Amino acid sequence: MTHSNLALCRIINVKLSATRQSDSTKTAKSEIKTVKVQIKQSQSIDLKTDCRLVVLKQVKKLSSQQAELNRATGGLLDRLQGAEQFEGKLGQIVTIPVPAGIPAQNLVLVGAGEQRKLSTEQVRNLLDKVAKKLKVAQIDEAHCDLDALAEKSDTATVARHLVEAIGDQRYQYVKRPKAARDAKAGKTFRLTFLCEDRKSAAAARAGGLAGVAIDNGKTLAKNLGNMPGNVCTPSYLAAQAKKLVKSHKLKTKVLSEKDMQELGMGSLLSVSRGSKQPAKLIVMEYFGAKDKKQAPHALVGKGLTFDSGGISLKPGAKMDEMKYDMCGAASVFGAMVAVAELQLPINVVGVVPSSENMPDAIATKPGDVVTSMSGQTIEILNTDAEGRLILCDALTYTHRFKPATVIDIATLTGAVIVALGHQTAGLMGNDQALVDDILSAGETSLDHAWQLPLKETYTKQLKSDYADLANIGGPTAGTITAGAFLSCFTEKLRWAHLDIAGTAWGGAAGKRASGRAVPILTQYLIDRAAD
């Protein structure tokens, strides 16, 4: 079992012991329930279920588990092997409707192959196929015997990624005009892990709960990201944050434009000038540490609910996708939900600067100079480089929490898609240990990031003749100069920046939100809780 999963097992099981929760594992109240996990310390083939999911190794001689299943089903495995329909090869999946000899409506056999070990990527790819097969078969409940796969990875990893895979496959955006009818499509998948002993049961419970919490956070992030810009406004985001006060026991504060003006947030307010939608600065606090004054870990998410580019107007093609420019904020919402549901023993603060960027008659113009909350002046050479303008004031505001670490998350530059595609987020920061921790969290969660350099030579590209710095650094190294701009507002902070413009939507996710970076942020915080 990996170090991260050992830590996760310890955290989850300490919480369960402290609250005397049953195997149904109650978490914080949530309106989002894609998958519900239960644990049974039994592998009996006599358990009644809609679907029995069994992972089998590729071996010529049947194991005792396989032999028992083979006997109960009248030699089913022998017949499948003889007909070369199922030999347990990696990725091989066979569904048997209403199998004879066992009380299940469906039997799903999954091949784990003959390799001794599988990478987390291989495990997740296999489980994605399983989740898709369950969806196609319209199966809403399953008892899972995953021992053969757990031997090749670890139980917590397998349980977690199966839950996430099912959640991703079953996610469906509920169209608001017919929400009452579509809500029926969101039926909860009931997933029971069958474990042979207490150790594997504890690991499955920890992994399953982590998967559920992350999936719930991703679902919230996807819903917010997929909403049309005329619905998901800064005021709407603020209202959703206030709902989390009751459902997840978060402390929430919303600053108005008047509040921000009094604080001197001239950079943030310069972006919202052209919109009739008022900007909001949303603050969500989670107190899980015994010491409520313990330094929190801060997440700062860009919340541009629609970005037209302002006076530096974007091309019309695909401008509708600029509703996704608040996916950094959505990932902060999702991570806060996941942390609260996992009841991590740390303090976390989420800060979301939110506005629209529109080309009104009083909108900020190229060449204008504004004063940020830090007192630094900024020459705005391009109004479409607005994300960094709202983030810099939010980062300055975050200083007041005296955070242990700060991560900002933003769909900041198209340049990061050119560099890293839709698979990997760009990462940079002023503290290598923090960057390494985030990279490690990306490997565990499969929400990958890649470090880009952050050096003084890039900051020099932001030189301005009329202000302390310009908001763009020219045509080269656009992702890095954007990070360099933000670094000018992180003095005395252990800070890192995640550019998720390529991962938050598009690519394999298609024209819809992916829920990233909820997994990497949640894993980072799980690891901090174990420090």
The Cα 358–Cα 238 span in angstroms is: 20
Q: Which of 7, 132, 33 is nearest to 508 (CA)?
A: 132
The Cα 128–Cα 107 span in angstroms is: 18
Instruction: Give catalytic status of residue 314 as yes or no.
Output: yes
3-state secondary structure 384-422: CCCHHHHHHHHHHHHHHHCCCEEEEEECCCCHHHHHHCC
The Cα 137–Cα 242 span in angstroms is: 39
Using omega within 30 degrees of 0 as the cis cutoff, is the peptide bond preceding 202 cis? no
Pairing between strand 495-499 and 425-429?
A: antiparallel
Please, which residues bridge with residue 356 across strands? 306
Residue 285's alpha-carbon distances to 92, 296, 298, 347, in angstroms, are: 45, 9, 9, 8
352 CB-near residues (< 8 Å, 6+ apart):
237, 241, 280, 281, 282, 283, 284, 300, 301, 303, 329, 332, 333, 394
Tokens linked to 190: 């009931």
Q: Which of 132, 242, 314, 365 is catalytic?
A: 314
Residue type, 385: A
500 CB-near residues (< 8 Å, 6+ apart):
327, 328, 331, 409, 410, 411, 425, 516, 517
Tokens linked to 73: 């089903």
Residue that is written with structure tokens 């242990």 in the block: 404
Residues in the chain: 531
**Helix intervals (H) in 189-326:** 198-226, 234-247, 257-263, 266-272
Tokens linked to 61: 């001689």
Are 529 and 11 in contact, with CB atoms under 8 Å apart?
yes
Instruction: Give catalytic status of residue 48 as yes or no.
Output: no
Q: Which of 388, 494, 516, 528 is catalytic?
A: 388
Give catalytic residues, as residue numbers. Answer: 314, 388
